[in-house]
Amino acid sequence: MIISSFNAGLNGIHKATAGINQAADQIVHKSFVGNDSNNLAAEFVALKQNVILFQASGKVIQASSNNLGSLLDIFG
């Protein structure tokens, strides 16, 4: 259970990092390369969503680590 929640947190961080990179690339491309700065709102929303996903995934890892520490205290 603790290992699977830790892995879920890591997967969330990996997905969020990829999403942040993709949104940032789209923002740069639309702003400077394509001169399409009119439709940036969706990219900024995607960027913010992935930042929140990253933070939430970090909290999952933190909670998993705390639970593991508590188990080690009980059984150790």
Q: What is the pLDDT along the chain (76 residues), one digit of tens a residue?
A: 657 888 999 999 999 999 999 999 999 988 887 676 667 899 999 999 999 999 999 999 999 888 766 665 577 6
What's the total number of domains in the chain?
A: 1
Residue 31 and residue 41 in contact, taking contact as beta carbons nearer than 8 Å: no
Q: Which structural domain, as residue segments, surrounds residue 8?
A: 2-75
Question: Residue 73: its pLDDT value, please?
Answer: 54
- Of 66, 73, 53, residue with least CA distance to 2: 66
Burial (CB < 10 A; 0-12, 13-18, 19+), residue 49, is middle
**Which pTM does this prediction carry?**
0.80
Residue 56 and residue 1 in contact, taking contact as beta carbons nearer than 8 Å: no
Question: Residue 33: its pLDDT value, please?
Answer: 75
